[in-house]
């Protein structure tokens, strides 16, 4: 049980770093778009890419939750 808990804990840490990284990436892309004068279409593309990343992160967190529920037994 302890090894499984370590595995899910590390997966949770990776997920949180991924989410934080997406947030920083989104901020940097918005600043770059403003600075370089990118079109709204280009900015929307990056917004959708980050949104897809957040959806993937939600899927990762859901799988971690399912693994923890299964381990509770």
> 3-class DSSP state for residue 39?
coil
Q: What range defines the domain where residue 30 resides?
A: 18-72
**6 confidence band (pLDDT: 50, 70, 90):** confident
The confidence score (pLDDT) of residue 52 equals 98
In a domain, 2, yes or no: no
Does the residue 32 lie in any domain?
A: yes
Angle (CA) 51 67 63, round 5°: 15
**Cα–Cα distances in angstroms (integers) from residue 52 to residues 7, 8, 63, in the given order:** 25, 23, 17
Q: What is the pLDDT of residue 72?
A: 78
Assigned domain for 66 exists: yes
**For range 19-23, the mean pLDDT:** 98
**Residue 17: is its pLDDT beyond 80?**
yes
Instruction: Tell whether 52 is covered by a domain.
Output: yes
pTM: 0.87
Domain-located, residue 61:
yes
> How many domains, the chain?
1
């Amino acid at each position: 049980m302890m090894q499984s808990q370590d595995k899910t804990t590390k997966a949770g840490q990776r997920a949180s770093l991924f989410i934080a990284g997406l947030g920083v990436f989104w901020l940097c892309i918005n600043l770059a778009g403003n600075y370089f004068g990118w079109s709204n279409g280009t900015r929307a593309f990056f917004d959708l890419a980050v949104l897809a990343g957040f959806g993937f992160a939600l899927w990762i967190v859901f799988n971690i939750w399912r693994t923890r529920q299964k381990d509770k037994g």
